[in-house]
Structure 1
Amino acid sequence: MPTIVNVCLTGPYSDGFSYQDNLLPKYQRRLGYKVVVIAPVWRWGEGGTLEKTPSGRYENEDGIEIVRIENDQKKPVTFRFKTYGTLLGLLKEYRPEIIFLHGLQIRDSATICQYVQQNPETRLFVDNHADYSNSAQNWCSKNILHRLIWRYHAKRLEPLAEKFWGVLPARVDFLIDNYGISREKCDLLVMGADDDEVARASNSLVRSSIRHDYDFSEDDFVVVTGGKIDAAKYQTLLLMEAVHLMNAQVKLLIFGPVDSKLRGEFEERLDIGKMVYVPWANVSESYAYFAAADAICFPGRHSVYWEQGVAMGKPLVVKRWAGTEHIDVCGNVIFLDSDGVGPIKNALQTLINDCKEAGSYYKAANIAANSFLYSEIAKRSIGLK
Structure 2
Amino acid sequence: MNIAHLCLSCFYYDGFSYQENLLVQQNVKDGHNVQVIASTESIDSNGRITFVQKSSYMGGDGALVNRVPYNKLVPKIIQYKIKSYDQVFTLLKDFAPDIIYFHGISAVELLSIKKFKIQYPNVKLILDCHSDKYNSATNFLSKNILHSIIYRTCYQSILPFVDKVFCISLDTMDFAIDFYGTPEEKVEFFPLGGECLEDEEYFDLRTNIRLDLNISESEIMILQTGKINAKKKAIESILQFKKVNNSNLVYVIAGSLEEDVKTEILKLISSDNRIRYLGWVDSVRLKGLLCASDLYLQPGSQSATMQQSICLRNPIILDNVKSHKPFVDGNGWLINNIEDIYRILDSISENSSVLSEMSKKSYQIAINILDYRKLAKKIYSI
- Category of TM-score, reference length = shorter chain: over 0.9
Identical positions, percent: 26
One-letter amino acid matched to 2:290: F
Query: Does the 8 Å contact 1:11/1:78 carry over to 2?
Result: no
2:238 counterpart residue number: 240
1:348 counterpart residue number: 345
**Does the alignment pair 1:7 with 2:18?**
no
Pairing of 1:83-232 with structure 2 (within 5 A): 83-195=84-196, 198-199=197-198, 202-232=201-231
CA 1:354 to 1:182, structure 2 compared with 1: closer, same or farther past 3 Å? farther
TM-score (norm 1): 0.92
1:284 counterpart residue number: 284
1:367 and 1:354 mapped to 2: Cα distance?
23
Q: Give 5+ residue unaligned stretches, structure 2.
A: none
The SS at the match of 1:80 is helix
CA 1:16 to 1:357, structure 2 compared with 1: closer, same or farther past 3 Å? closer
Residue-by-residue CA offset, 1:299-320 (whole Å, 9 max, x unaligned): 1111111101110111100112
One-letter amino acid matched to 1:32: G
Pairing of 1:55-66 with structure 2 (within 5 A): 55-66=54-65
1:372 and 1:354 mapped to 2: Cα distance?
29
One-letter amino acid matched to 2:242: H
The SS at the match of 1:256 is strand
One-letter amino acid matched to 2:344: A
Q: Identify which of 373, 381, 384 aligns with 2:371.
A: 373
**Does the alignment pair 1:305 with 2:302?**
no
Residue-by-residue CA offset, 1:181-229 (whole Å, 9 max, x unaligned): 100100111111134xx34885323222222222322221111111110
One-letter amino acid matched to 2:238: M
1:354 and 1:210 mapped to 2: Cα distance?
24
The SS at the match of 2:156 is helix
Pairing of 1:40-51 with structure 2 (within 5 A): 40-51=39-50
1:201 and 1:190 mapped to 2: Cα distance?
26
1:201 and 1:17 mapped to 2: Cα distance?
23
The SS at the match of 2:376 is helix
- Displacement after TM superposition at 1:345 (Å): 1.1
2:241 and 2:200 mapped to 1: Cα distance?
25
The 10-residue stretch of structure 1 (66-75 or 303-312) with the greater mean CA deviation from structure 2: 66-75
Greater share of helix: 2
CA 1:76 to 1:96, structure 2 compared with 1: closer, same or farther past 3 Å? farther
CA 1:291 to 1:47, structure 2 compared with 1: closer, same or farther past 3 Å? same
Residue-by-residue CA offset, 1:148-188 (whole Å, 9 max, x unaligned): 32221221222111100111111111100111110010011
Superposition RMSD in Å: 2.1
1:64 and 1:46 mapped to 2: Cα distance?
22
1:201 and 1:344 mapped to 2: Cα distance?
32
One-letter amino acid matched to 2:83: K
One-letter amino acid matched to 2:147: H
1:37 and 1:17 mapped to 2: Cα distance?
14
Query: Does the 8 Å contact 2:224/2:297 carry over to 1?
Result: yes
The SS at the match of 2:82 is coil
2:248 and 2:201 mapped to 1: Cα distance?
23
Q: Give 5+ residue unaligned stretches, structure 1.
A: none
Query: Does the 8 Å contact 1:37/1:64 carry over to 2?
Result: yes
The 10-residue stretch of structure 1 (114-123 or 154-163) with the greater mean CA deviation from structure 2: 154-163
